[in-house]
Structure 1
């Protein structure tokens, strides 16, 4: 059944991926009508999240953010499909780096890097970063249920020496690369909500106390990886600029969770600057009523 779904859907995805961008975004506009107006995909979740994050904004302001968000979400879906066939030159033109020397200099100093980011702007084309580096790149991801599409996504990422690994695979793989003396860069999307009962740390995110993922910081300390944040700014439709900021050159010099808290502060700055580019469909604040006593104000 998985293979049947793959052979039926893959040709459609490939045909969409070869469309010129102008036509691709026309499809995105049509997708917006379906997802927002007809299906209403997670509209209640998005509405609740926006009210929680921006309690002082008017209903009209929240509605404008919500519509802009869905337009951006549809663009990201189409851009993800475009990744199948987009050329390196085209991607470099559309996904630029304002200060790539931050990670290049760390590489020159033989520092492996834990690259932290949020579900903000666009993270679909970040793997083009590997064309500016010599080291091997990894990204932590959740394996897709369909094994054929899972292999497809891995193949797309591997074009530029980026390799997807699951959370369970990350420690043994990165430990082995360190044992071999290899310099690596590993990407973590670190703003998801962990299970409340398994959380080691809680902190305020957009003014609400929530459990926080600390895996990137803990792994960086274990493997002595410098920690770098990358923020993404959407310049215009289909064009993004990434800026890097070193959070910790030597992570073991920082108290536990301080690096993670610095990361969350930077994510909040992005959201306040342009809230429509955050992934509001995630139930990020679903554990807000389970705050342990020691974290309650």
Structure 2
């Protein structure tokens, strides 16, 4: 059944991916009409999240954020599809880096790097970064495998074009441990703003003014392997154009107090959300465990 679905849908996705951007965003506008206006995909979740985080905003203000958010969500969907056939040259025009030299300087120090980001702006085209770094810096991105193994293979292949490799959460620690033992320099991306499973939630902190469980895996790996930690924020310049700016959290994680890296990440993530909330992924139930009690204990990486 998975193969049938793949064979039926892939030609459609491919045809969408070869559309010029002007037509691509017409497809996005059509998606917006159905996803937001007709089906109301997770509309209640988005409204509740905005009400929780921005209690001071009026109904009109929240509706305006919702409208802009769903437009952006649909843009990201078609941009992900565009990744199937987009050229390196075109992607570089649409996704730029304001200070890639920060990453290059860390490479010159032979530092492996953990990149931390939130579900903000655009994370689909960050993989083009590998075109700007040293060829012996191997790129990894932690992701949740797709249910359909054929589509999963397709999008892993798209990322691999730029020397970036998708690894599941279970593969992350053994993969990076082995790379360190082999003397390989790595650049690994972690989207660290999601809510962990409640039975694994060991650390709680304020995020957007609400105390919730947070992921600490990126910090734990960085500390264990002595990797530099860098936050990358993405700004939407205009439709289809983004700029990424890096900010060093630390080059020496072992010298910092426990959870300080995670806390710094959360503050940086909050800052960009407050500046332009419409570009955050509000469809996630990020604050669903806010009233729960901590029940897990953090495990050390061995």
Query: If the TM-score is normalised by the length of the shorter chain, which range does it land in?
Result: over 0.9
Local SS of the residue matching 1:128: helix
Query: C-alpha deviations, 1:233-286, integer Å up to 9, x for none?
Result: 000000000000000101111111111010000011000100000000000000
Do 2:79 and 2:124's aligned partners in 1 also have CA atoms closer than 8 Å?
yes
Per-residue CA deviation, residues 9-54 of structure 1 (Å, 9 max, x unaligned), is: 0000000000000000011001100000101000000000000110
In the other structure, the counterpart of 2:86 is 86
Structure 2 CA distance, aligned partners of 1:291 and 1:21? Answer: 47
Counterpart of 1:233? Answer: 235
TM-score by length of 2: 0.96
Structure 1 residues 236-275: aligned runs within 5 Å: 236-275=238-277
Is 2:75 the counterpart of 1:62? Answer: no
Aligned mates of 1:130, 1:204 — CA distance in 2: 33
Contact 1:230 1:243 in 2 (8 A): yes
The structure 1 residue matched to 2:174, chosen from 168, 172, 175, is 172
In the alignment, what sits opposite 2:7? 7
**What is the SS of the residue equivalent to 1:122?**
coil
* 5+ long unaligned stretches in structure 2: 296-302
Contact 1:209 1:291 in 2 (8 A): no
Cα distance in structure 2, aligned partners of 1:40 and 1:7: 28
Residue equivalent to 2:111 = 111
For 1:224, the equivalent position in structure 2 comes to: 226
**Structure 2 counterparts to residues 145-164 of structure 1, below 5 A:** 145-164=147-166
C-alpha offsets along residues 148-200 of structure 1, whole Å, 9 cap, x if unaligned?
Answer: 00000100000000000011111111111111111100000000000223112
After TM superposition, give the deviation of residue 291 of structure 1 in Å: 3.8
Shift of the 180–292 alpha-carbon distance from structure 1 to 2, 3 Å rule, reads closer
Contact 2:202 2:294 in 1 (8 A): no
Shift of 1:292: 4.2
Moved over 4 A (4+): none
CA distance in 1, matches of 2:9, 2:190: 29
Q: Is the 8 A contact 2:130 2:162 kept in 1?
A: yes
SS in 2 for 1:288: coil
Aligned residue in 2 for 1:39: 39
TM-score by length of 1: 0.98
Aligned to 2:127: 127
Answer yes or no: is the 8 Å Cα contact 2:201–2:294 preserved in 1: no
Provide the rounded CA distance (Å) in 2 between the counterparts of 1:199 and 1:219.
17
> 1:214 matched to which residue of 2?
216
Does the 8 A contact of 2:203 with 2:294 survive in 1? Answer: no
For structure 1, the 5+ residue unaligned runs are none
